Structure 1
Amino acid sequence: MLSPQSQLLERNIELFQEGKWLLVNPADAYFTDQLTDYPLDILHQYYDVYSESVRVNSAHTFDSRDVASDPDGFCLNQQIGEHRHTFAPFADSKKSYTDVLIYLPKAKAHLAMLLQMAASVLSPNGRVHLVGENKGGIKSADKLTSQYGSTEKIDSARHCSLLTTHIEQEVEFSAASWLDTNTFSIGDNELQVVSMPGVFSHNQLDEGTELLLQKLPSSLRSKVLDFACGGGVIGSYLKQQYPHFDVTLLDVSALALYCTARTLAANQLTGTLIGANGLHGVEGRFDHIITNPPFHTGIKTDYSITKRFISDAKRVLVKSGALYMVANRFLPYPGLLAEHFSQVRTLAQTSRFSVYLALAK
């Protein structure tokens, strides 16, 4: 099913008849099916839409040392007819386009980064197009696009708008300039955390994550999965505390994996990284899954991600495995956990967060 943003683009399909196009973060895997006759590059910073677009059912594993050693990030590429789909944190700086289309992200700082990246890969007199839901902030996006050139509204429908900015200057982009490194104290320990716009809890230590780490027992076993790792706080903390642990860090976001690799490296640590759509396609078994899972898709509250994760978690846990999860107190997770796990306990609770322990049946 086409997202509302893609339905608006479908009304303006003639835009794609000319020029060399890059699409950034399409909200669904289906709009490009309307453009099979047109050559396109598609940058996916999110593995779920990438895997659906290229019909890949497996997750993908990376070595954190390989990701950290590449200053431009890492990528997976798949050619489907005239379309080249790439899962990566950034666009290929060696390529040039006449037009770049960005699906509006949730965070303004993420949009600012994407706009600079997009403008940097344009040929002279190129254009950046922005499509997004009206309530998602696109009405105020011209405050960011105006620094690059004049912006006009092309169309609006389905509670979405399509804007075009004519880039009037040459723009350079450096991923390193968007990275931030912070040192956080967790208990008696300090951890350097690398983050950037578009990554969960950018420039902050999330209160829920901190509570979860404080309440973990000292009796953990050695094979651990940090699900929805963000900037790698949980997995890096565990690897720092228990160097002999086999720690795997998983996220749907290429930006998150990019930052996680650098968080590990900043603390002289290594780990296995996985790009995946939830736990779909994840092989192997773990003693523990430790997570602060997302409950938003874009600007919308969305329990489906964590619901699917909870139902899949038992499959990747060993028989006596345990799931440790922190979540906002208002989320209905105790009942969901009880549907799939034999024992569910609340280890800690504040006015905002609850930490749960779920033991496999």
Structure 2
Amino acid sequence: MDLKTTLDYEQVRQFSRNLVSEVVEVVSKPGLPDWDQVLPSTELLAKYAIFHPTNNILLFGSHHGALGVYIARRLTVGQLSITDNNYIALEMTRKTLEVNQITSVNILADIDLRCEGNQRYDSVFIQIPKGRKLTRRWLIQAHLALVLGGTLYIAGLNNSGIQSAIKDAMEIFSNGRILAYKKGNRIAQLVKQSDDLAQPDWALTPGIAPGSWVEFSIQLNDHGFLIRSLPGVFSFDRLDAGTKMLLSISKIQSGAKVLDVGCGYGVIGMFAAFHGAGWVDFIDSDLLAIAACKESLAVNQISNATVLTGDLLAPVYSKKYDLILSNPPFHAGQAVDFQIAEAMIRQSYRALNPDGRMTIVANRFIPYDRLINEIFGNVSCLVESGRFYVLSGIKSG
């Protein structure tokens, strides 16, 4: 692997794709699942969802924005709002809308929907995310956002949970029907027949119920941290075994400047802040993780920190660190993405001070040791188990 792979990851591309009967200019990049494709769920929603040019529409799950372009082109008076929990998806959507000369779309982070007040929509479209609990969160938000008589269209892959998602939607809406199937995907239509939200047990679950958080405590060495988290965040309701292993051997130099990459709800960086770091920056591309990290920092009264939203280390391109810690994001959708891993390691090397250290935990089947050795010129395995290993590389002075 070489520098070209990292440059390929960082490069934003523009290309044309057909959607139903028209061409859409798409802007996208690696790091977004299926970044160069039009999803079958997008094709189903474009083909089978019916709406009027004056409708107000809310789209959950923007992908790279092709569906947003298709909908916006058909709205003469109505307003389109788009939301996602993925920063990269929303940024690519902004760029895709721009190259298609569409300027009237409102883009929201998932967490911001709680602040929308009395905004209501005639139709809501959902391209289901990864994880049933996050899908359920979106379903609750969709029902609350719809006008009485409004329509929900929901689509996705069978092996990503669309059948369970449709079942959950029917529990809330008390109606629904399948409209079509395509390449292992399906689309369903449901109508909001009452302003009263049906209350299956899961609808009241913390993190799914509007305005609520998943709360739990993590005890590390001699200190406990209170965590606030949300479905969709990695290991959102517990400390995962890999991170626990990483923190068990992490030594924080007093006054060190530390970066937590792919921070999730923030426990790695909070550990560093509590154990002597002078300053900690937190980065994630998941907007729910960013919200959870900010909440967790606040409730633990940690102030020597900044939380940044972005794609890998892009927000700290000009900064330098003494220590970079990560339980890195090696998945893009369902598959392991080594391009993301290499880009993260190369960017980490660039961001370290001389004699600075990067320490990560990973599944043993991922050959991070070879990547770190290639980029840093050295690699150490600090601890390992049957599932994980903790690896470290030092930037030579």
- The two structures have a TM-score, normalised by structure 2, of 0.79
Query: Could you say if the C-alpha distance between residues 229 and 341 of structure 1 is closer, same or farther in structure 2, counting changes exceeding 3 Å?
Result: same
Look up the match of 1:157.
182
Indicate which of 238, 254, 263 corresponds to 1:204.
238
Give how far 1:326 is off: 0.3
Indicate which of 188, 193, 211 corresponds to 2:222.
188
Query: Could you say if the C-alpha distance between residues 10 and 123 of structure 1 is closer, same or farther in structure 2, counting changes exceeding 3 Å?
Result: closer
Look up the match of 1:216.
250
Q: Which SS does the other structure have where 2:329 is aligned?
A: coil
Query: Could you say if the C-alpha distance between residues 339 and 111 of structure 1 is closer, same or farther in structure 2, counting changes exceeding 3 Å?
Result: same
Looking at structure 1, the residues matched to 49 and 172 of structure 2 have their Cα atoms a distance apart, in angstroms, of 25
Give how far 1:303 is off: 3.0
Look up the match of 1:292.
327
Report Cα offsets for 1:189-231 as digits up to 9, x if no partner: 2111111211111111111001101111243652111111111
Look up the match of 2:23.
none
Give how far 1:14 is off: 5.1
Look up the match of 1:50.
90
The aligned runs of 1:238-317 (5 Å cut-off) are 238-242=272-276, 245-270=278-303, 271-283=305-317, 284-317=319-352
Looking at structure 1, the residues matched to 301 and 315 of structure 2 have their Cα atoms a distance apart, in angstroms, of 29
Indicate which of 79, 82, 102 corresponds to 2:104.
82
Query: Could you say if the C-alpha distance between residues 322 and 30 of structure 1 is closer, same or farther in structure 2, counting changes exceeding 3 Å?
Result: farther
Look up the match of 2:59.
23
Give how far 1:176 is off: 3.0
Report Cα offsets for 1:275-308 as digits up to 9, x if no partner: 1022234332222210001222333333332222
Q: Is the 8 A contact 1:319 1:360 kept in 2?
A: yes
Give how far 1:154 is off: 1.7
Report Cα offsets for 1:214-249 as digits up to 9, x if no partner: 11124365211111111111111111222x521111
Q: Is the 8 A contact 1:93 1:121 kept in 2?
A: no
Looking at structure 1, the residues matched to 215 and 120 of structure 2 have their Cα atoms a distance apart, in angstroms, of 31
Q: Which SS does the other structure have where 2:194 is aligned?
A: coil
Look up the match of 2:31.
none
Give the letter aligned to residue 182 of structure 1.
Answer: F
Give how far 1:347 is off: 0.6
Query: Could you say if the C-alpha distance between residues 223 and 306 of structure 1 is closer, same or farther in structure 2, counting changes exceeding 3 Å?
Result: same
The aligned runs of 1:280-359 (5 Å cut-off) are 280-283=314-317, 284-359=319-394
Look up the match of 1:120.
144
Give how far 1:28 is off: 2.3
CA RMSD of aligned residues (A): 2.2
Give the letter aligned to residue 355 of structure 2.
Answer: S
Q: How many residues align?
A: 337
Q: Which SS does the other structure have where 2:379 is aligned?
A: strand
Q: Which SS does the other structure have where 2:111 is aligned?
A: coil
Q: Is the 8 A contact 1:327 1:354 kept in 2?
A: yes
Q: Is the 8 A contact 1:48 1:252 kept in 2?
A: yes
Q: Is the 8 A contact 2:45 2:125 kept in 1?
A: no
Query: Could you list the runs of 5+ residues in structure 2 that have no partner in the other structure?
Result: 1-35, 198-207
Report Cα offsets for 1:172-197 as digits up to 9, x if no partner: 785333x1211111122211111121
Q: Which SS does the other structure have where 1:202 is aligned?
A: coil
Q: Is the 8 A contact 1:148 1:165 kept in 2?
A: no
Give how far 1:119 is off: 0.9
- The answer to which structure, 1 or 2, has the higher relative contact order (CA under 8 A, 6+ apart) is 1
Query: Could you list the runs of 5+ residues in structure 1 that have no partner in the other structure?
Result: 57-78
Give how far 1:34 is off: 2.6
Looking at structure 2, the residues matched to 137 and 19 of structure 1 have their Cα atoms a distance apart, in angstroms, of 29
Give how far 1:327 is off: 0.5
Q: Is the 8 A contact 2:266 2:282 kept in 1?
A: yes
Query: Could you say if the C-alpha distance between residues 167 and 236 of structure 1 is closer, same or farther in structure 2, counting changes exceeding 3 Å?
Result: same
Looking at structure 2, the residues matched to 28 and 54 of structure 1 have their Cα atoms a distance apart, in angstroms, of 9
Worse-matched range after superposition: 8-17 or 188-197: 8-17
Query: Could you say if the C-alpha distance between residues 132 and 343 of structure 1 is closer, same or farther in structure 2, counting changes exceeding 3 Å?
Result: same
Q: Is the 8 A contact 1:252 1:275 kept in 2?
A: yes
- The two structures have a TM-score, normalised by structure 1, of 0.86
Query: Could you say if the C-alpha distance between residues 216 and 168 of structure 1 is closer, same or farther in structure 2, counting changes exceeding 3 Å?
Result: same
**Greater radius of gyration (CA):** 2
Looking at structure 1, the residues matched to 275 and 354 of structure 2 have their Cα atoms a distance apart, in angstroms, of 25
Look up the match of 2:124.
100
Looking at structure 2, the residues matched to 135 and 17 of structure 1 have their Cα atoms a distance apart, in angstroms, of 33
Give the letter aligned to residue 354 of structure 1.
Answer: Y
Look up the match of 2:200.
none
Look up the match of 1:137.
161
